[in-house]
Structure 1
């Protein structure tokens, strides 16, 4: 089981309406991507982030399906330009010692196969965690 999380701090001046639309895209991703077993999208409490989302996936095949699904792409394209800081993280009970490297490879492939996403990720002022492609 994989809990894939996203933490988001918006740029100054982003309207509440624009933030609401971006969060709606994340909810749509949770609803439409078959690999997502459950999800939550809402306010991030306890850190220097505004919003967060967690998507529960069964395995790395599901993770790849999530990353490459059109609803996820729509959320990336709609949300990334509004972000001051973005952090992705993954929590798993998978005992594979190579799990982190496998997630990094999926994230790298995802960005490399989508030039628009690569530009959006490169433009992020701060990008931390498992989605940061080095």
Structure 2
């Protein structure tokens, strides 16, 4: 299993309506993407971030389905313009020592095929983690 997580803070000028639209889009990802086995979207406590989301996905094929699903793309469109600081992470019980690199390669493949997404991501104040462009899933 792969637990794909995001932690983020929003720009101060994001309206309550925009925030709710973005959070609802994240929740919708969990409801409609077939490869998502379970999910949580909500407040992030105990750190420097305001919000978080975690999606449980069975394998790399499901991860790719999650990444390219239209519901995920909608969240990118409505959510990324509101984000100031963003970090992504993946936790897995798969023992493949190359899993981090494989996950990073899926994200890079997505960026390479979607210039609009790359432009949205480049507008973030700070972005790090497994999904960051150019990442290799390593620290």
TM interval, shorter chain, is: over 0.9
For the aligned residue pairs, the C-alpha RMSD in angstroms reads 0.7
Q: Give the deviation of 1:8 after TM superposition.
A: 1.1
Q: Which residue of 1 aligns with 2:84?
A: 84
User: 1:45, 1:2 → 2: CA distance?
Assistant: 22
**Please, which runs of 5 or more residues in structure 1 have no aligned partner?**
none
Q: TM-score, normalised by structure 2?
A: 0.94
Q: Give the deviation of 1:54 after TM superposition.
A: 0.3
User: 1:51, 1:68 → 2: CA distance?
Assistant: 22
Tell me if 1:5 matches 2:9: no
Q: Give the deviation of 1:124 after TM superposition.
A: 1.0
User: 1:22, 1:90 → 2: CA distance?
Assistant: 21
Q: Which residue of 2 aligns with 1:49?
A: 49
Q: Give the deviation of 1:59 after TM superposition.
A: 0.4
CA deviations on 1:57-102 (whole Å, 9 max, x unpaired) are 0001100000000000001111000000111100000000000000
Q: TM-score, normalised by structure 1?
A: 0.98
Q: Which residue of 2 aligns with 1:58?
A: 58
1:108 partner SS:
helix
2:87 partner SS:
strand
Q: Which residue of 2 aligns with 1:121?
A: 121
Q: Which residue of 1 aligns with 2:102?
A: 102
Q: Give the deviation of 1:19 after TM superposition.
A: 0.8
Q: Which residue of 1 aligns with 2:29?
A: 29
**Please, which runs of 5 or more residues in structure 2 have no aligned partner?**
135-139
Q: Give the deviation of 1:109 after TM superposition.
A: 0.4
